[in-house]
Amino acid sequence: MSATLTSIFLSNRKSIMWSVMRIVRDPQVAEDVAQETYMRASKVAETGTIDHVEAFLFQTARNLAINHKRRQDMRGRVERDDISETDLANIASASPSQEADLIHRQRLQCLREAVARLPQRARTVWVLSRIEKWPYPKIAEHLGVSPGTVFNDLKLAHAHCIDALAKIDRG
């Protein structure tokens, strides 16, 4: 896959650079983003397969360019000289409050308990679908059931989790 990835990357490098340039408007940054795109794609290719390499490269480059642009815009807003120390001190933290963190941990624990109470097959389907990101046909083949059964088990699991979270939200 590495040789294929490299050849596809090299044949699309100029197009990737132009796509990135439209977002970041800096040739050096575009070059850096293109290289980071290749590095990330290589890492993904080592751990699995990429079905549509060209599309994956362009989407990865676009996402990296947008992320760079957001960080750059944020830095520009924060690094302005006209902001006083008092104003900077009054900027709300991006991290959640202790209360929000506690609520999040309680909801996560509730979700863990709800998943643990599921019937074995529904729990397995939920884990493979939502945690492992397996598609329905692969789960069905793995478990020896139909994709419709996978869908129904996942629907059952979701309903069970939603009910559990609704109870904690009400009480």
pLDDT of residue 90: 72
- Single pTM value for the model: 0.46
2-77 with 98-170: one CATH topology? no
pLDDT of residue 81: 56
**DSSP calls for 20-51:** HHHHH--HHHHHHHHHHHHHHHHHHHHHS--S
Dihedral sign (CA 96, 169, 163, 119): positive
C-alpha 97/C-alpha 103 separation (Å) is 10
Contact 8, 56 (CB under 8 A): no
Q: Which of 159, 117, 157, 114 is closest to 139 using CA atoms?
A: 157
Contact 59, 20 (CB under 8 A): no
Element (H, E) at 66: helix 53-78
Considering the four listed CATH numbers 1.10.10.10, 2.60.40.1120, 1.10.760.10, 1.10.1740.10, the one that applies to the domain covering 2-77 is: 1.10.1740.10
pLDDT of residue 46: 87
C-alpha 85/C-alpha 76 separation (Å) is 16
Q: What is the residue type of 127?
A: V
CATH topology of domain 98-170: Arc Repressor Mutant, subunit A (1.10.10)
In eight-state DSSP terms, residue 93 is: P
User: To the nearest whole percent, how much of the chain has pLDDT over 70?
Assistant: 91
C-alpha 70/C-alpha 64 separation (Å) is 10
Q: What is the distance of C-alpha 24 from the center of its chain?
A: 22
pLDDT of residue 51: 87
Q: What is the distance of C-alpha 69 from the center of its chain?
A: 18
Low-confidence ranges of the chain (pLDDT < 50): none
pLDDT digits over 75-105, tens only? 766 655 566 677 767 777 677 778 888 888 8
Where along the chain do its domains lie? 2-77, 98-170
Q: Strands, DSSP E only, in 23-141?
A: none
